[in-house]
Amino acid sequence: MIDPAAATFERVAADYDYGRPSWPPDAVAWVGLPRDAEVADLGAGTGKLTRVLLEQFDRVIGIEPLGGMRALIPAEAQVIPGTAEAIPLPDESLDGVFCGESFHWFDWQRALPEIARVLRPDGSLAMLWNRGETPWPPEVEAILDRVHHSPGERRYHAFAWRDAFEGSAFEPLRHEVFPHEENVPVDVLVARIGSWSNFTIRPPDERVALLDEIRAHLTEPTYRVRLETHAWTTRRRAS
């Protein structure tokens, strides 16, 4: 079953695709899989991570439950509907599973055995999250404080997803951070904010009004955003 908050991303799929940041290729390469590895982007959304995977691997599968998001995944990947709890692939059919801003939404007790099932022995699971700092004007900070943290952000920072690996079929997690910065135009930044789950869960009229209020206080043409990609990886135990 899809988390109700996660399901609301489909309402704003275009904003999600336009506004969300991409992923540093170094974070994908760090996992250590060869070019001919068969990999999947699990919970692929609109394919932000899929695009990076296609640059490094010959066969990429994008797995996404929401049709409105799935429609934007690049056609160069094999695109299929599915969830982390019911992956529509045969046993031991993948060398790698990547999750970009998706793993915290999964039902981990069901998802981890499924991921282990579709991975070959020693296959890799990689989970990526972008965390960032933006020099918001104080008026924007006040609006964001008023809206509170998103359901997804709370699930991520609780770190219960890490505890789920105890006693699983996976080796201990490895962690690395990949800093990167970008100049983000205002339109992209507003779309990014609007794709956060604390905005997507709101009634459409309220969401639009909040974004209009934020846009009115963003007076610079671009803002320098400092991002850190937090990458975690592990391998399926060989036996």
Read off the pLDDT band of 5 (50, 70, 90): confident
The rounded distance, in Å, linking the Cα atoms of 118 and 15 is 32
- The whole-number pLDDT of residue 1 equals 47
What is the arithmetic mean of pLDDT over 144-151? 82
**pLDDT (tens digit per residue) in 10-69:** 999 999 999 999 999 999 999 999 999 999 999 999 999 999 999 999 999 999 999 999
- The whole-number pLDDT of residue 175 equals 97
Read off the pLDDT band of 2 (50, 70, 90): low
Mean residue pLDDT across the chain: 94
- The whole-number pLDDT of residue 133 equals 82
Q: Are 96 and 37 in contact (CB under 8 A)?
A: yes
- The whole-number pLDDT of residue 154 equals 77
Cα angle, residue 161 at apex, residues 15 and 71 outer, rounded to 5°:
30
Pairing of strands 119-133, 222-235: antiparallel
In sequence order, the 6+-apart residues with CB closer than 8 A to the CB of 43 are: 63, 64, 65, 83, 84, 99, 100, 102, 103, 105, 106
The rounded distance, in Å, linking the Cα atoms of 29 and 31 is 5
DSSP state letters, 126-166: EEEEEEEE----HHHHHHHHHH---HHHHHHHH-HHHHTTT
- The whole-number pLDDT of residue 4 equals 82
CA 130 to chain centre: 8
**pTM reported for the whole predicted model:** 0.95
| Residue-range domains of the chain with CATH | 4-135+150-181+226-235 (3.40.50.150)
Q: Are 177 and 215 in contact (CB under 8 A)?
A: no
Instruction: Return the number of other C-beta atoms located less than 10 Å from residue 80's C-beta.
Output: 16
Residue 94 bridge partners (DSSP) = 119
The tokens for 138 are 């104080």
**pLDDT (tens digit per residue) in 228-239:** 999 999 999 986
Pairing of strands 94-100, 38-42: parallel
The rounded distance, in Å, linking the Cα atoms of 107 and 102 is 11
pLDDT at 82 exceeding the cut of 70: yes
**What would you report as the CA-atom Rg of the chain, rounded to the nearest whole angstrom?**
18
Beta strand ranges found along the chain (DSSP E): 38-42, 59-63, 78-80, 94-100, 119-133, 174-185, 222-235
Lateral strand order in the sheet of 119-133? 78-80, 59-63, 38-42, 94-100, 119-133, 222-235, 174-185
What is the arithmetic mean of pLDDT over 204-211? 97
